[in-house]
Amino acid sequence: MSHAAQEPWTVDEFLTWQEGRPGRYEFVGGMPVKMMTGATARHDDIVLNVLAELRQRLKGRSCRPFSADLCIRTSADQIRRPDAGVDCGRREPADLVAKKPVLVVEVFSPSTRDFDRAAKLTEYKAVTSIRTILYVEPNRPEVYVFERAEGPVESWQPERRVVGLENDVAIPALGIALPLAEIYDGIEFVPGPLFG
């Protein structure tokens, strides 16, 4: 770590350093940053449900889902690890970075919620291949959808909310929809402060 205190690293230096190291790190401003550990079982169940649905719906296609083990380069000196995503680039067995991320999924955690909705959202929107960003509420059936608008000048459509287990999240860029009932499969919702 003494190298990190002396001067910023390159992305390649970070990826070499991270490989085989326990724990997960993001790369921010040329420096490794240890990610929070200890996600709840609820958070983990939702992430696994999302990955399972993406895998099923994209089976046989060139676009493939990925977990937080694969990362996204959001700028020259930034690497982020969303909870889940879809990469439509040509994948090699030794890849550590998604080549053409199209979808990013983050499941909110109390400790990272504000950061995810502000700084990370801005970073994800700056990646030209990303077409859809989903933020999943863990304590109620609600997903926030950010979709890149198509046209001569690319921009982002206004935030859309999908609420209720009977609804689906459409992802036009991939030609699929994710049912909230599947995203929240096995999740029990408890009325009260967490739900509101």
Phi, psi of 8 (to 5 degrees): -60, 150
Give 52-56 contacts, CB < 8 A, sequence gap 24+: 52/182, 53/178, 53/179, 53/182, 53/183, 54/84, 54/86, 54/103, 54/176, 54/178
Q: Is the pLDDT of residue 147 over 90?
A: yes
Measured over the CA atoms of residue 193, residue 179, residue 150 and residue 89, the dihedral's sign is positive
Please provide the average confidence, as pLDDT, over all residues in the chain.
88
What is the structure's pLDDT at 3?
Answer: 47
What is the pLDDT averaged over residues 66-90? 93
Confidence of residue 195 (pLDDT cuts 50, 70, 90): very low
In this prediction, residues 111-128 reach a mean pLDDT of: 83
Residue 16's CB: how many other CB atoms inside 10 A?
12
Band (pLDDT 50/70/90 cuts) for residue 196 is: very low
Per-residue pLDDT at 4: 43
The mean-pLDDT minimum among 37-46, 77-86, 140-149 falls in 37-46
Q: For the chain, which residues make up each domain, given as ranges?
A: 39-70+82-183
Mean pLDDT within 122-129: 94
Give the distance, in angstroms, between the CA of residue 17 and the centroid of all CA atoms in the same chain: 22
pLDDT tier, 23 (very low <50, low <70, confident <90, very high otherwise): confident
Q: What is the pLDDT of residue 194?
A: 45
More confident residue, 155 or 153: 155
Q: CATH classification of 39-70+82-183, choosing from 3.30.56.10, 3.90.1570.10, 3.10.180.10, 3.40.50.2000? A: 3.90.1570.10
- Indicate if the pLDDT at residue 130 is higher than 80: yes
C-alpha distances in Å from residue 185, one per residue of 2, 49, 99, 180: 45, 7, 30, 8
Over residues 57-78, the mean pLDDT reads 94
Tokens of 121: 């959202």
Return the closest-CA partner of residue 34 out of 86, 137, 92, 112: 112
Cα–Cα distances in Å, from 141 out to 73, 189, 190? 30, 8, 11
Nearest alpha-carbon partner for 50 in 73, 67, 72? 67
Output the CA angle 105-21-62, nearest 5 degrees.
40
Asked if residue 1 has pLDDT above 60, the reply is no
Residue 48, pLDDT > 80, answer yes
- pLDDT given for residue 171 in this prediction: 97
